[in-house]
Amino acid sequence: MEFILFYIFGFIAVVSALLIILQKNPIYSAVFLILTLFSVAILFLLLNAQFVAAVQVLVYAGAIMTLFLFAIMLLNIKYEEKAFSKLANLKITGIFVTFVLFIEFMYMIFLRKGLGIAGNISPEKVAEVGNVELIGKILFTKYLFPFEVASLVLLVAMVGVIVLAKKKF
C-alpha cells in the first residue's frame, strides 16, 4: 500500500517538477511547483513525518507560493521574455551538469555505494515518540543555538525589507 502511494506521488512530484521548467507561462510553473511541494508533503507523510508534511503544505504550498503567485500576477508577466533564447549555451551546460548529477545518483543508488551511515531516527522511532514531540525536543535542545540565530536572520530580513520599502529616509 505504502509503496503504491510512494510511486504514485513520487511520479507526480517528478513530472510536475519537470513541468515547472518546461512551462512557458510562469503562472502554470507556479501551479506545478505547488503540486510538487504537495506531493513531497505526501512523501513525508509516508515516512511518518506528519509535522514536516503539514508544515511543508502550510508554509511552502500555502503561504510562500501564494506570495509567488501574487508577485507574478502583479508584475503581469504573461509569457516569459524572449531573453532566454540568448542563453542557449547555458541551457546546454545546464543539461550537461544535470546529466552528470543524474548519473552520479544512479551510480549511488544502484551500486549502493557511499550511502553514508544510517541515522538513528527511523520512521518507526518517529511513530513511537511522536513527530511533533521529537522535532520540538531536538529544536530546543541540540539545535537551540541555530534556532536562536535563525530569529536573527529573520530580524535582519525584516529590517532590510523596511529599509527598501519605506517611503522616505
Partner 1 sequence: MVDLIIELVIIILKIGIVIGAVMMGVAYMTLAERRLSGFIQDRLGPNRAGPQGLLQPFADGIKLFFKEDFIPDSAEKLLFFIAPGMIFVPALCVIAVIPFGDSLNIFGREIQLRIADVNIGILYIFAIASLGVYGIVLGGWSANNKYTLFGSLRSVAQMISYELALGLSVMGVLMITGSLRLTEVVEVQRSYFFGFIPHWNIFLQPVAFIIFITAAFAETNRLPFDLVEAEQELVGGYHTEYNSMKWGLYFLSEYANVITASAVITTLFFGGWHLPWIEKIPMPQILLELLQIGSFVLKTAFFSIFFIWVRWTFPRFKYNQLMSLGWKVFLPIAILNVLVTGLFYAIFS
Partner 2 sequence: MDYSIPTINLSVIGPEIIILLTAVSVLIIGLFPNYRRWSISIVFIGIIFAFYDIYYLWNLNQVGFDGMVLADNFALLFDIIFLIGTLLTLLLSGNFINQYIRGTGEYLSLILFATLGMMLMASTNDLIVIFLGLETLSISLYILAAFRRSREDSLEAGLKYFLLGAFTTGFLLYGIALIYGSTGTTNIYSILNFLKDGSVEIGILFYIGMILIIVGFGFKAAFVPFHMWVPDVYEGSATPVTAFMSAGVKAASFAVFLRLFITGFSPIISQITGILAVLAILTMTVGNVIAIVQTNIKRMLAYSSIAHAGYILVALTALSRNIESEFSAASIMYYILVYTFMNIGAFGVVIYMEKSEEEVLKISDYAGLGFKKPFAAICMTLFMFSLAGIPPTAGFMGKLYIFSSAVESELYGLAVIGVLNAVIAVYYYLRVVIFMYMKEAVLDFSYLSARPVMALSLSISVGGIIYLGIFPQSLINLLTNIL
Task: Report which of 112, 114, 116, 135 is spatially closest to residue 125, judged by C-alpha positions.
Answer: 135
Is residue 67 a contact residue for partner 1 (CB under 8 A)?
Answer: yes
Total residue count of the chain as it appears in this document: 169
Q: Rg for the chain (alpha carbons), in Å?
A: 20
With CB under 8 A as the rule, give the number of residues binding partner 1: 25
> Taking CB within 5 to 8 Å according to partner kind, which of partner 2, partner 1, none is near residue 55?
partner 1
32 close to 15: Cβ distance less than 8 angstroms: no
Least distance CB 1 / partner 2 (angstroms): 27
Contact mark string toward partner 2, 127..156, x via CB under 8 A: --x-------xx-xxxxxxx--xx-xx-xx
* CB nearer partner 1, residue 63 or residue 139: 63
- Rounded to 5 degrees, φ, ψ at 44 are -60, -40
126 close to 48: Cβ distance less than 8 angstroms: yes
* CB nearer partner 1, residue 7 or residue 70: 70
The number of angstroms, rounded, from the C-alpha of 102 to the middle of its chain's C-alpha atoms is 18
With CB under 8 A as the rule, give the number of residues binding partner 2: 37
40 close to 61: Cβ distance less than 8 angstroms: no
Least distance CB 143 / partner 2 (angstroms): 7
* CB nearer partner 1, residue 25 or residue 93: 25
Among 34, 36, 39, 42, binds partner 1 (CB under 8 A): 34
